[in-house]
Amino acid sequence: MPKLTLDDLNLLNKRVLMRTDFNVPLSSAGQVEDDHRIRAAIPSIDKVLEDGGSLILMSHLGRPDGKVEAKLSLKPVAELLSKILSREVKFADDCVGKESLALSSSLKAGELLLLENLRFHKEETENGSEFAQALAVHGDIYVNDAFGTAHRKHASTYGVPEIMDSAVAGYLMDSEVKYMSSIVDNPRIPMVVVLGGAKVSDKIPVIKNLSKLADAFLIGGGMAFTFLKAMGHPIGKSLVDENLVESCKEILRELSKKGINYHLPTDCVAVSSIDSPELGDVCFIDELGDDKMGVDIGPMTVAEFDHVLEGAKTVIWNGPMGIFEVPHWSNGTVSVGKKLVELTKTGTTTVVGGGDTASAMKQMNLSNDVSHISTGGGASLELLSGNALPGLEMLQEKE
């Protein structure tokens, strides 16, 4: 069901409490290293201020586990946001309590305030009801624009909208959900799904759900080795999730039964250790020695993946093909990224999701050259897995 958005409410003289995803990387000097997530929230912020509302922003940053950690303060975000908007951004040293409430309730139309890191309180991730109540009193209207945390049942994403009368989606949330849902609801076929990264557990539900739609799966990255083990190939010291070998076997059986193609690496870049970034040797998977581990897909696999991608009308990509953070081992990830850009130019719909995959595209300067890059890794995986997002469920439906 479509959700109400910022466009459906009168914001004049209203205090708008907006959950944003300002979980940005900070340098050791406390500077914001990548402002992508901050800029993604600007359209919703502008809307509230231009319509004569006052704005109280709340976000988490990192994992302080319920303790105040100075290096995870959102203060540098307030400073950068102020520069981007060319207006003052007030800052509250705590997200709840008398002082922050004094600041939020004294805001005038067109003014904005950023609350300190929500996760300085353990009740945020525990969805504590008193904490949710203490947050809710900041606003008349709740807006969720944090697609990146919409899969979490936290106080700011679930408890607060549950108790506020008015709870709607921000523009980023709305466009992300619409885009990802349209891919799943009305896919242009053939659809090819490229999966990689380390965690096979995250990707299994995606394979299960998308096997209703996909024509082929290309599986690379560390997760491929659990599948390769399930098929009886040697994997040396490569990453493996022993608990999921049987599930992988079952999934491959299901895919074969349904006549869906899947492709796993036939060669890889093999190294002795990931601690010393050596160049590594390319070898066939079946020749991977016991003392070696695969850290990237090899050139034969890249060629095979390219060939399968060639005919696709929709490509969904989540998870790097190797440890791309080490330049020697980034070839597979770079090749898939470039292939998607090439396909986008010829009219294929290309969707990239997942924090690491998005940052790989950014590293390659290709972020603007695919159809859609999702700002939310976990949330986009949930949507692709066919699961509801708790943060979205709490928002009001359109009539």
Q: CA angle at residue 60 from 58 to 62, to 5 degrees?
A: 160
Residues 263-302, interacting with ligand AMP (CB under 6 A): 294-295
Tell me the window of 19-27, 104-112, 143-151, 194-202 that interacts with ligand AMP (CB under 6 A).
194-202
Q: Which amino acid is at 356?
A: D
Give me the least distance between CB of 324 and ligand AMP, in Å please. 6
What tokens appear for 298 in the block? 């090899």
Question: Which one, 322 or 337, has the nearer CB to ligand AMP?
Answer: 322
SS3 content of the chain, % helix, strand, coil (to 5): 45, 15, 40
- Distance (Å, whole) CA 308 – CA 56: 48
Is the CB of residue 172 less than 8 Å from the CB of residue 147? yes
Q: Which amino acid is at 289?
A: G
How far out from the chain centre does Cα 182 lie?
17
Question: Which one, 236 or 322, has the nearer CB to ligand AMP?
Answer: 322
Give me the least distance between CB of 340 and ligand AMP, in Å please. 16
Parallel, antiparallel or unpaired: strands 281-284 and 267-271: antiparallel
Burial of 162 (0-12, 13-18, 19+ CB in 10 A): middle
Is the CB of residue 299 less than 8 Å from the CB of residue 266? no
One symbol per residue from 227 to 266: x for binding ligand AMP (CB under 6 A), - otherwise; what is it? ------------x---------------------------
Give me the least distance between CB of 194 and ligand AMP, in Å please. 12
Tell me the window of 36-44, 108-116, 317-325, 386-394 that interacts with ligand AMP (CB under 6 A).
317-325
Size of the residue set binding ligand AMP (CB under 6 A)? 17
Tell me the window of 15-23, 107-115, 138-146, 198-206 that interacts with ligand AMP (CB under 6 A).
198-206
Give me the least distance between CB of 210 and ligand AMP, in Å please. 16
Give me the least distance between CB of 249 and ligand AMP, in Å please. 20
Tell me the window of 22-30, 34-42, 172-180, 195-203 that interacts with ligand AMP (CB under 6 A).
195-203
Question: Which one, 159 or 354, has the nearer CB to ligand AMP?
Answer: 354
Facing residues of 294 across strands? 270
Q: Residue 259 catalytic?
A: no
Catalytic residue among 199, 313, 338, 362, which?
199
Residues 109-138, interacting with ligand AMP (CB under 6 A): none
Q: Residue 119 catalytic?
A: no
What order do you get walking across the sheet with 54-58 strand by strand?
A: 89-92, 112-115, 54-58, 15-19, 141-144, 167-169
Binding to ligand AMP by residue 322, rule CB under 6 A?
yes
- Minimal CA–CA distance to 85: which of 118, 51, 111? 111
- Distance (Å, whole) CA 355 – CA 24: 11
Is the CB of residue 151 less than 8 Å from the CB of residue 382? yes
Radius of gyration of the chain (CA): 23
Coil, helix or strand for 309? Answer: helix
Q: Residue 376 catalytic?
A: no
Parallel, antiparallel or unpaired: strands 267-271 and 293-297: antiparallel
Q: Residue 355 catalytic?
A: yes
Give me the least distance between CB of 219 and ligand AMP, in Å please. 11
Catalytic residue among 110, 153, 355, 362, which?
355
Give me the least distance between CB of 389 and ligand AMP, in Å please. 18
Residues 347-366, interacting with ligand AMP (CB under 6 A): 354, 356
Binding site for ligand AMP (CB under 6 A): 196-199, 202, 221-222, 239, 294-295, 319-320, 322-323, 325, 354, 356
Active site residues: 37, 199, 355, 378
